[in-house]
Amino acid sequence: METIHFRRALTVLIILALVVLSFLVIQPILMSIIFGLILAFVLSPIYNFFFKLTKSPNFSTTIVIALLIVIVILPLWFLTPIVVNQAFKLYMSAQSMDYTSVLQNILPTIFGSPEVASDFGGIIQSFVIKGGNTVLDSLSQLVLDFPILLLHLAVVLFALYFALRDKKQLIDYVKSLSPFAKEVENKLFKSSKDITASVLYGQVIIGILQGIIIGIAFFLFGVPNALLLTMLAVVLGVLPIVGPMFVWVPVCIYLLLTGDLVSAIGIFIFGVIASNIDNILRPLFVSRLTKLHSAVVLIGMIGGLFVFGVLGLILGPLILAYLIIILEVYRSKGKENTKTPFLMKAD
């Protein structure tokens, strides 16, 4: 009997040791693997379309990855130096700007006193300089880490390739490891799929589209540093509650102050369209799907950003969503009719 217990304990220790060692091996590229899996989920409809035409998993996956490289990766490759250059120019302009005069011109009633305007102008200038230094340091580090980024990109593409090609086997394998009963397992997987689609399509994809629409307006009306502002609009578009209006509204004000009324009106029209396109596209993307409350999405994105970096904007809400799903499965266990929990309701 003691021998049996000893063997079981030894087996558990060996498994735990292998799990820890395996985690240490993949830990440096774990985020890249996860990003590849997320891309596989987003691009799965495109893969399904090509698979119906070709009936070949390998060929269909190759087409999807080729499209991803041509449409997304190559443009980013060529546009990144332009963004870096525009960021540097904007930083230099922000340093030399007279914020005291700007405050007095925009809000003469509040900042009529030169002392008050000077104090607030100094605070704004200090904030802008510190923020600019942080952004430039990040961009410099990005250039220095370029070889490592290429390795991470290769891992992302490999993970994407095999996750698309072998997605059925992968899902079956994950289900085989599930400790839940079959009924709970099916409900868990369906809810997880729905909520993942809701976050990715309803929040991330629509946010990117909103930023791109604003970017088109910036280029059409010749706004300075249009590419950098477009990237910023895309990032803010992904964030719930915030949105790209925090980019295009200040641009409109800037254009009005410089006397460019036509461009200001044009940016305003595009901004209104971008801000309201959410009401048109969201029902098409995530209709009949479980939706997360905006508070959960926002908290998840902010917390995820601190823990996981940029990828945390996606991982944070998903982690909270999966926790809510599991808690809901146990809460409703044995109950026939349960209401949708508050945190799983869309606004």
DSSP of 285-298, one letter per residue? HHTTS----HHHHH
pLDDT on residue 335: 55
What integer pLDDT is reported at residue 284 of this predicted model? Answer: 61
Domain boundaries, the chain: 29-177, 180-347
Q: What is the pLDDT of residues 183-213, one digit of tens each?
A: 667 777 777 777 777 777 777 788 888 889 9
Contact 180, 18 (CB under 8 A): no
> What stretches of the chain show up as alpha helix (H) in DSSP?
2-26, 30-54, 57-68, 74-96, 99-106, 114-144, 146-165, 167-177, 182-199, 206-220, 226-238, 245-257, 261-286, 294-308, 312-331
By the 8 A CB rule, do 329 and 336 touch? no
Half-sphere exposure of 274 (CA within 13 A, CB side): 32
| Residue 291: per-residue pLDDT | 60
DSSP one-letter string for 256-281: HHTT-HHHHHHHHHHHHHHHHHHHHH
Residue given tokens 């823990």 in the structure block: 307
List the chain residues with pLDDT less than 50: 337-338, 346
**Distance in angstroms (rounded) separating the CA atoms of residues 131 and 28:** 28
Question: Model pTM greater than 0.75?
Answer: no
Cα(311)–Cα(289) distance, integer angstroms: 23
Looking at residue 159, its pLDDT comes to 92
CA 307 → CA 34, 156, 293, 314, distances in Å? 14, 20, 21, 12
Give the relative orientation of helices 245-257 and 261-286 as an angle to the nearest 10 degrees.
Answer: 170
The DSSP annotation for 115-161 comes to HHHHHHHHHHHHHHHHHHHHHHHHHHHHHHTHHHHHHHHHHHHHHHH
